[in-house]
Structure 1
Amino acid sequence: MPRQKLFSTVRLRDLALLIVSISVLVISAHLWISDRLLVLRSVYPLESMVSRTTLTCSPGAPVWLGETLLFATESQGSLANQIAYIEPDGKRHHCENGWEGTLIASPRLSETTRFRYASLSKLITADATLAIINSGGLRLDAALVEIFPELVPSRDARLREVTIGHLLSHQAGFDRMKSEDPLFSLRKNTWCPYDIKALSSQMLDFSPGERYSYSNRGYCLLGAVLEKVTGKPFRQLIEEMYSLSDQGVRFIDGPYLKDEVRYDFRNGDFFSERYYQRFDFHALSAVAGLSGNASALAQLIHSMLRRQPLNILSATVGEGCDLSEYMNCYGYGVYVHKQSNSQLSVSMQGGVLPGSRSVAVIDEHGGVTVLLGSGQPLEGFEQTVKLYQKMYYSIEQYYKAGIAGAVSLPLGAK
């Protein structure tokens, strides 16, 4: 090939490469500016593959723990995860994967890395309430108006019927699908726990005890009840009852703590990293106010199961309640779940905050599993259900295979 023709070919090839490179940069810049979340979502599968390689587990941990984390990383939009499982006899196992912050560039996630517990905090509120009841400082059938007489007179006469038991089991008459949840309202400040009397001017969404409906308001009111009957601020009371600081568990006030994981918001179209500025985390103390690691919470829950005579598994679920549905058949702080055509009964509670998902599972043998994740699935709860189902069947198969120390605990399920 003549020298001049060779140079022309090289120049044309270089020019074409330059045009392609510039085009890629321009398109990428345009997408980053116009739809940054789309770009981040498109690279997630690659990041997920990298994060999965960091999986580490404690010696002797059941295989299903690691498999659960790998599934969560792949399907739940969560690059950093913790899982802890305490066997019925108290033996603890744990697994972790991912990094605390930026992929590869930050420290590896550890067993002690902090996550927000979100609504798993309700388990502590429920247990604390039952502890006060067990000690005689409160009654399960005590009416809310007995503790807060300023609620009488009330706009809705049914308010007189609301009991502590109703609040614990999400049967107090609040339905967030019908009336606004003041704890997570973006339009106005919450009346709970600051102005309980404001409840007297509101209407309930259904008669107390008529049905179940998950309620943040109910658990905020439980926090206010505990303050009233003990004479102590809720956070102080919980710290004293559970020695939280000794276990690395802390209340959050909004901003992220130094030892906290970095959350992934790419699958959310509304809230971003500064979402906490929109909520009152002091008001959320009894509802979604705690943070810590999976092992610490699993240990706390495992200890709760020994509380007598009442504990979070003591409630009897109403007859006719469909146990195969999630968030449907509530006891004290947990709902009972049993898959169709399966034998295992579990009690569960999920947690949701922007950029994170969590779940606690108490199986009928007395085992406790806590999973904490730093992201959220794009498809929402429908995708989360797939994770729940995988955990459920993994736990069921684990017990079928036979482990030492398994004993049956009553879940109140009929």
Structure 2
Amino acid sequence: MNAEQLTDWLSQRDLPEPFSGVISFAQGEGRTEKAFGEAIKALNLANTLDTRFQTASGCKIFTAVAILQLIEKGQLTLDTRLKDCLSIDFPHFDPDVTLHHLLTHTSGIPDYFDESLMENYADLWKEQPMYAIREPRDFLPMFQNLPMTFRPGEKFAYNNAGFIVLGLVVEEASGQPFTQYIEQHIFEPAGMTDSGYFWADSLPERTAYAYLQRPDGSWGTNVFSVPIVGGPDGGAYTTTGDLEKFWKALAEGKLVQPDLILQPRVSTGWKPPYTHYGYGVWVDLSGDQPHFFVEGSDPGVALRSRFMPDRDAILTVMGNTQKAMWAFYGDLQQEVLENVPSGA
């Protein structure tokens, strides 16, 4: 499927709103990619192939890689208990919570945003101003003194606060601010020159605003719906090209030993494709070979990036509207799986 065919294919989809973003499929040295919609609607500024988009939870994998790097350096282990590597008091946390539990969403610690109970991430900021969330520790009052929800290792329950805590561990172990560590130890060695944790009030060039459609059909940005800057549990900005570089750097061992991260670690009990989780990454075991993917969904944000090692392929869709991508990604993925066989 070339770019023109991709445009025709997308035009035939029944979408809840127009898709705005970039679709990229890379296989070997070949690539099909196409930009749609607008990065900044008020300026009629179109999205381009190198537009930077918000990632929501899709960047949890960066936090996981950071922890694994510190493990490779001998500063931590997967069995290191939280209380032994972080000098912050969590009065009600189980003392047996380990880094493995936090990386796999099996810790049982309380979450500041429980996705099983709350539907709208923007509701968090009705009482807690989003502009006050400037670094990982700013999240602590939202969960630090709450009780455990289950015993460590008892089950899988997706947990954003767990990755906030992991970010604090990175800071304490490395002596660097979290975002600085990620930029120096992940973005730079992977060649991800368009990626970063950008402040919403000072975005760099080629950065898309994220849009929400109001009931009257008009559009507004998500500037009051997410923290002013991203952190360990989400909110980095990147491009489809930089995500391709990231997956390749992982596979080539440039960031961490591949077998540390590119494998399933826990069974989730969820429906496909979410049946297994690794460290910061979903693992789809429905085919002959495992595929790995990250995804993120915030108000005005949609991302899924899927790495298929057996096909030497990466399929990434990044959107600056929230609903459209989820209506077609499954069909697009199926097109890819049917036309690029395993071992191609």
Give the TM-score category using the shorter length: 0.7 to 0.9
Share of identical aligned residues, percent?
21
CA distance in 2, matches of 1:211, 1:267: 38
- Match of 1:273, SS? strand
Q: Deviations over 1:27-55 (max 9, x none)?
A: xxxxxxxxxxxxxxxxxxxxxxxxxxxx9
The answer to whether structure 1 residue 217 and structure 2 residue 161 are counterparts is yes
Q: 1:79 aligns with which of 14, 19, 26?
A: 19
Relative distance call for 1:84 and 1:133 in structure 2 (3 A) is: farther
CA distance in 1, matches of 2:45, 2:198: 22
Query: Where in structure 2 are the equivalents of 1:56-95 lying within 5 Å?
Result: 57=3, 70=11, 74-75=14-15, 77-87=17-27, 89=28, 91-95=30-34
The answer to whether structure 1 residue 312 and structure 2 residue 247 are counterparts is no
Q: Deviations over 1:231-252 (max 9, x none)?
A: 0011111111122896211212
Aligned position for 2:279: 332
Q: Is contact 1:268-1:355 (8 Å) kept?
A: no
CA distance in 1, matches of 2:41, 2:258: 47
Instruction: Give the Å deviation of 1:333.
Output: 1.0
Which structure has more relative contact order (CA 8 Å, sep 6+)? It is: 2
Mind listing any 5+ residue stretches in structure 1 that lack a counterpart? 1-54, 404-414
Mind listing any 5+ residue stretches in structure 2 that lack a counterpart? none
Task: Determine which structure has more spread, i.e. the larger CA radius of gyration.
Answer: 1
Q: Is contact 1:317-1:331 (8 Å) kept?
A: yes
- Match of 2:35, SS? strand
Q: 1:127 aligns with which of 50, 65, 72?
A: 65
Q: Deviations over 1:17-76 (max 9, x none)?
A: xxxxxxxxxxxxxxxxxxxxxxxxxxxxxxxxxxxxxx9839xxxx6x65775567x525
- Match of 2:137, SS? coil
- Match of 2:22, SS? strand
Q: Which amino acid aligns with 1:275?
A: N
Query: Where in structure 2 are the equivalents of 1:161-176 lying within 5 Å?
Result: 161-173=96-108, 174=110, 176=114
Query: Where in structure 2 are the equivalents of 1:12-411 lying within 5 Å?
Result: 57=3, 70=11, 74-75=14-15, 77-87=17-27, 89=28, 91-102=30-41, 106-151=44-89, 154-156=91-93, 158=94, 160-173=95-108, 174=110, 176-177=114-115, 185-186=124-125, 187-188=127-128, 192-194=136-138, 201-241=145-185, 242-243=187-188, 247-255=193-201, 256-266=203-213, 273-282=220-229, 284-307=230-253, 308=257, 310-318=259-267, 321-322=268-269, 324-339=271-286, 343=288, 345-365=290-310, 366-377=312-323, 384=326, 386-400=327-341, 403=344
Relative distance call for 1:204 and 1:291 in structure 2 (3 A) is: same
- Match of 2:77, SS? coil
- Match of 1:285, SS? coil
- Match of 1:193, SS? helix
Relative distance call for 1:119 and 1:229 in structure 2 (3 A) is: same
Instruction: Give the Å deviation of 1:218.
Output: 1.2
Q: Deviations over 1:138-160 (max 9, x none)?
A: 211111111124436x234x2x1
- Match of 2:338, SS? helix
Q: Which amino acid aligns with 2:239?
A: N
Relative distance call for 1:155 and 1:221 in structure 2 (3 A) is: closer
* Aligned residue-pair number: 326
Q: Is contact 2:143-2:161 (8 Å) kept?
A: no
Q: Which amino acid aligns with 1:312?
A: I
CA distance in 1, matches of 2:301, 2:322: 5
Instruction: Give the Å deviation of 1:279.
Output: 3.9
Cα-Cα RMSD: 3.6
CA distance in 1, matches of 2:246, 2:116: 34
Instruction: Give the Å deviation of 1:323.
Output: 6.8
Q: Which moved more, 1:121-130 or 1:77-86?
A: 77-86
Q: Deviations over 1:68-126 (max 9, x none)?
A: 75567x52524322122333x465542223343449x8344321112112211212222
Q: Greater helix percent: which structure? A: 1
Normalised TM-score (structure 1): 0.67
Relative distance call for 1:344 and 1:392 in structure 2 (3 A) is: farther
CA distance in 2, matches of 1:172, 1:298: 30
Instruction: Give the Å deviation of 1:137.
Output: 2.3
Relative distance call for 1:268 and 1:315 in structure 2 (3 A) is: farther
Q: Is contact 1:192-1:217 (8 Å) kept?
A: no
CA distance in 1, matches of 2:25, 2:269: 27
Aligned position for 1:19: none
CA distance in 1, matches of 2:128, 2:56: 21
Q: Is contact 1:171-1:210 (8 Å) kept?
A: yes
